[in-house]
Amino acid sequence: MQRRDLLALGGAALAGSALSGMPAAQAAPHQAPFGRLISASDFGATGDGRTDDTVALQAALDAAYAGEDGGLLLIPSGRYRITATLRIAPKANITRQSGILGIGARILSAITDGSDILDISSRSTFRFLLIQGLDIHGSGKDGHGIRLSCPGNRNFLYNFCLRDLVIQGCGKNGCQLIGNVFEGQIANCYFRNNHGHGASFHHDPAGKGILSAVRVIGGVFGENGIHGAAMLDGCYDVSYHGSYFLLNKRFGLVAENGCTLLSSCGFENNHEGADDFSRGDAGIWLQGFATLVGCTAYSMFRQTHLLRATLTGRLAMVGCSGSGDARAAGAGLAVLRGDPRSSATLIGCNGSLKNEGGFEAVEIGSGDGGLRCGGDWQSRTLAQLGDYRLWVDRRGRLRIKKGRPQRDDDGSLVGVA
């Protein structure tokens, strides 16, 4: 065990010894002063996998958040069966670290009415929430595994951290973040085999709360019933670093309004719900804009590309690749289209690129080497030398003009006296 976990358990043991000999109901504190670590076992939680621990766990959470400072609730190692949603909903502003430490604790959902397993809602200023170490097993008939929400634009849920979590088998999404939720991290979490998305991120559908500055670090999104991760309701400021998306029924990642950054992420064998490779699709489906650095895609079954994008802004891809073997031997890098406001620049990328609808990307140092850009006089990606444009006319001759050409035979021929 890590040193901090031993310290945490030691603190809980000291608290328990100080209260020995007292009935459980009298020993249970009514609230957790700042810095106080309380244990769910003090509230009667058994963790034996059979007893319904819902009431005990909720009482412990209520105690942790009874004061203005909040507290940390330790859920000792064990298997905790619950039959209703566990809720964290502070009434006062919380501006110091609080939350749940659950190293080795498994929450076994027996919820069957579609309700969420852990619901965290802010109707105040709620900072420094930490949820660490829980292993959440859904029933398949419940809702989201963890839901963080902050409706409206006068309340805030930020500087949060979800880390070292396993969330699987939930009836909806493994995790849902919605509304005025920002400046947070999701680190080393595994979202697996959930019936909806592995995780989803949303602005407030009413248009008042903005989700932003969320960083996903070392996440795994696998075998989920829809997408691995989904960015919906206009949100785009979620970035993914060193994360992996695999074996999801549809896309590994969907970004309906763009994605700030993906770095060192892998997409493997998504579209498990498709009949075959010809009916599959890319690891990422994107509208808007994005930056991808060092991202890879590999397929042996139904995933066809790393990226399918309809662009309205800029796309930058650096050092990305897309490939496949076996039935997916034709898998490639990207399929791109875009409107007149958009552009795409690919640097040092490998894998086949398909441009649709007249769209043209600029490729630098691709598999064929060199520089590839538009060659038609009407192309938006013509090569430029200072104020001069270069293009190839219909007769295959290189032409140059200061400023944009107005017709195919505009400007001067290059290399012709």
**pTM of the full predicted structure?**
0.86
Burial of 77 (0-12, 13-18, 19+ CB in 10 A): middle
CA-to-CA distance for 82 and 179, rounded, in angstroms?
27
Per-residue pLDDT tens for 248-274? Answer: 999 999 999 999 999 999 999 999 999
E-state strands within 122-198: 125-127, 129-132, 135-137, 146-150, 156-158, 161-163, 166-168, 175-179, 181-187, 190-192
- CATH of span 3-377: 2.160.20
The pLDDT of residue 5 is 40
**DSSP code for 62:** H
Per-residue pLDDT tens for 118-162? Answer: 999 999 999 999 999 999 999 999 999 999 999 988 899 999 999
Q: Which residue has the tokens 């994005």?
A: 290
Runs of H (alpha helix) within 32-106: 54-64
pLDDT above 70 (res 346): yes
∠ CA(42), CA(43), CA(45), 5° rounding? 95
The two three-digit tokens of residue 74, written as one number? 């330790």
C-alpha radius of gyration, the chain, whole number? 26
Per-residue pLDDT tens for 50-65? Answer: 999 999 999 999 999 9
Q: Which residue has the tokens 């060092």?
A: 294
- Helix or strand or coil: residue 3? helix
The 10 Å CB-count burial string (b at 16+, else e) for 144-154 is bbbbbbbbeee
Domain ranges for the chain, please list them.
Answer: 3-377, 378-417
Of 245, 243, 254, whose CA–CA distance to 216 is shortest? 243
Q: Distance of alpha carbon 1 from its chain centroid, rounded?
A: 28
